[in-house]
Chains A and B, each alone.
Chain A
Amino acid sequence: MAGKKLSPEKLREIHALMVEARILEERLIKMNKAGEGYFWIGGPGEEAFAIPFGMLINKGQGIQHDFLHLHYRASATILAMGGESIDSIRQMRAVSTDPYSGGRNFVNHYAIKKWNVVPVFSCIEPQYLQSLGTAHAQREAGCKGITVVTGGDAGTAEGDFASALVWSSRPAGELPLLMIVTNNRYGISTPWEGQHGEKYISDRGTAFGIKNAVINGNDVFEAWEGLESAMNYVRKERKPFLLEISVSRLYGHSSASGAPRWNEEDCIDVFEEKLIKQKVMNKDQIKSVHDAALKKITDAYKQVQKEAFPDPSSIYDYVWTEQNGDKGRDSFAAQIGVDFTQNPPPAEHH
């Protein structure tokens, strides 16, 4: 059976993270609906693959560790890597303590240098191009790090996806790159069926000699096994792998579509049934995991409500690279002739 080696402790750990990730996303959606944040996009429904993914990453900074070029549905992966729920809530509310963007970007747009999580952006698919660069840097012999890039099914229509297939399989420079496509069968509101003639996206890898597979992302065991096997292949062979993962999209594309609950298979329900059947957890234990996660997220939400919004003058921070702790402002000011002290005083924002 797939995922046999996962111990009961590990399964409980996965479950707790899945539940926390889901409750976090539901809180973020609620915040958006209540006007406490300007836009929501995220990944509820992808936890069964996203949590194992985060746990399997060789986490750290620099080319000896894995580089992650994620898209905006990876909240559960960040959580599994050790990220804090409160930081996503901070980004949702766009407070100055948002560690990923200082109140500048949409929620679930991370940037974590210490774990090689490169800046997530809203554009569809350029992450596949940028992933070529970190993978190329890791191509050198003896390097253990690999690059993993994620994107959705609709985005594979962009030329950038084809570029990644071409570049990662160049005979002059094959890349240690795991390309993950999460297939939820929608591009915003447009169903997959009307736009894609291919049966599986992963089949496109075959033309380039890229090893590929399709797995069920709603099943923790299958996802763990599929991810581990693909990652091991890339890590060992220093060659690309294309992994298509079928997933549910439980709250639609984003807040732009109202984010109502959709009637699709819920991977947490599936997992909990298995945990009960395998006697890893009982119903009471499961309930207490949900209660604990809800309390944690609620406490975090209350904390974030007390935190300050960004100072208007911070717009000039980090246009350019920081030097000597100046947030990039001094050299920028000197070079463009702007006197920051002459800016209008910060206005209160509620």
Chain B
Amino acid sequence: MASLAQAIRMALHYGESKLSVDDIFGQDVGPPLGGAFTVTQGLTKSWNSPLDERGIIGMATGLGLAGKRCVAEIQFCDYIFNTLDLLKLAGNASWSSNGEFNMPIVVMTPVGSGIHGSIYHSHSFDAWAARIPGWKIVMPSTPLDAYGLMLSAIEDPDPVLYLIPKALMRAKGEELIPGEPSSDKELRERIDAPVDPKARVKWKANWPALEYYTVPIGKAKQLREGSDATVISYGRQMSLVTQTADMLRERGVNYDVFDLRTIYPYDWDAIKQSVEKTGRVLFVNEDTEIANFGEHLLRRTCDELFYSLKVRPRLLAGKHIPGIGIHPNLENVSVPQKNHIEQEMIALVEDPA
């Protein structure tokens, strides 16, 4: 099965060969490196930009104004902060011009902790991103969704921010991407660039016959079905939630678990239906907890589903501190780990109604 990085790479290849993507660019995106996480290896439309995040987002926005589809990368979301005003401009191109222009671009960037990335390679961006109207924001947690969401993002007429949970880059999926060879070894040999620099210069990817497959933007995915409580998450924490749900199922507790997949426009119908069924809900993500996106979901839950709730709704998020410390003793208490998730999920069902 493809890893998340391989899945995105294949989606980008589908984009450059079938969906008119002419520019896939950013720092180290082109050869020889093909991206800090190998996401852009072997692509024919990838190129290296100057080390200039504002230039990268500006270039992408200009391409969008020219009606071109592109995928730009910011190497780590920790470095996207100096482009916030440019993201705002991209998000308001349609609205401010009263519909004269649209902005069919994709910006992708790795987010979150989990690779001992210290202060400048561990930040989250989902809460910031959700505050930039005009954008659609997606965040896959599996390779198949990563493939399908990238194709949807490329085809979307509006700007899409594609957040990649970097701790999952090497995580393999459980479902084949349409057209993906079933052998890991074969896939590796066909689309992973050789490590040897000399061999890499001559290397060309031998792409499998990939097929069109999309995941609609705005649709959550139900991962586990249960009637005792609801857990909504996305990104890196998703698999920790499902693992915990499976473990607790053995103890007789059944959780409704959803991967939001799209942070905006999020799938309120899915949340609403589940909360109305269970009356108990926990939102989990790793961004810092103040003005966290989960806080918005909590607010809407209280506003619209108050009388369906049996107990207080909960949010488990990262600590509101200026960074993630590099030592595991620090990182593991800064962002939700499996033990925190387990603790909250148990507390959620044990809260007296």
Which one, B85, B99, B218, contacts A327 given CB within 8 A?
Answer: B99
Segment touching B, from A159-167, A218-226, A259-267: A159-167
Q: Which of A67, A111, A332 has the most chain B CB atoms inside 10 A of its CB?
A: A111
Q: A133, B54: Cβ atoms under 8 Å?
A: no
Residues 240 to 292 of chain A near chain B (Cβ within 8 Å) = none
Q: Are A129 and B55 in contact (CB under 8 A)?
A: yes
Q: Is the CB of A129 within 8 A of B54?
A: yes
Given contacts A102-B98, A319-B133, A322-B99, contact A129 B157 (CB under 8 A): no
Evaluate contact between B98 and A112: CB separation under 8 angstroms: no
CB of A133 within 8 A of CB of B157, answer no
Interfacial chain B residues near A170, Cβ < 8 Å = 50
Q: Is A347 in the interface zone, CB < 8 Å from B?
A: no
Q: Closest Cβ of chain A: how far from B266's Cβ, in Å?
A: 8
Asked whether A137 and B101 contact (CB < 8 A) given A105-B96, A321-B94, A337-B269, the answer is no
Query: Are A319 and B94 in contact, with the CB atoms below 8 A?
Result: yes
With A136-B23, A321-B102 already in contact, the answer to whether A129 and B50 are too (CB < 8 A) is no
- In-complex Cβ contact of A101 among B23, B67, B96, B133 (8 A): B96
Question: Is B256 interfacial (CB 8 A cutoff)?
Answer: no
A343 at the interface (CB under 8 A from B): no
Residues of A within 8 A of B101 (CB): 111, 113, 118-119
B297 interface contact, C-beta 8 A: no
Residues of B contacting A135 with CB < 8 Å? 62
Given A100-B97, A104-B98, A172-B48, A160:B54 Cβ within 8 A: yes
Interface core residue of A133, A167, A322 (most chain B CB under 10 Å): A133
Q: List chain B residues, Cβ under 8 A from A323.
A: 157
**CB of B66 closer than 8 Å to a CB of A:** yes
Do A335 and B218 touch across chains, with their CB atoms under 8 A apart? yes
User: CB-CB < 8 A to B52: which residues of A?
Assistant: 163, 166-167
Bound form: Cα–Cα A247–B158 in Å: 38
Q: Does B265 contact A (CB under 8 A)?
A: yes
Chain B residues with Cβ below 8 Å from A83 are: none
Residues in B whose Cβ lies below 8 Å from that of A320: 94, 134, 157-158
Q: Which residues of chain A (127-142) have a CB below 8 Å from chain B? A: 128-138
**In B40-71, which residues have CB < 8 Å from any A CB?**
47-50, 52, 54-55, 57-68, 70
Whether, in the assembled complex, B306 has its beta carbon less than 8 Å from a beta carbon of chain A, the answer is no
Is B311 in contact with chain A by the CB < 8 A criterion?
no
Bound CA–CA A111/B100 (angstroms) = 7
- Tell whether B93 is near chain A: CB-to-CB under 8 Å: yes
Closest to A310 in B: B98
Give me the interface of B with A, judged by CB distance under 8 Å. 23, 47-50, 52, 54-55, 57-68, 70, 85-86, 89, 93-102, 104, 133-134, 157-158, 218, 265, 268-269
**What are the nearest 9 A-B pairs in CB distance?**
A133-B62, A129-B58, A111-B97, A102-B98, A335-B265, A321-B157, A137-B66, A318-B99, A133-B63
- Provide a sorted-by-A list of 10 A–B residue pairs whose CB atoms are within 8 angstroms: A98-B98, A104-B98, A130-B58, A132-B62, A133-B68, A136-B59, A163-B58, A320-B134, A332-B265, A335-B218
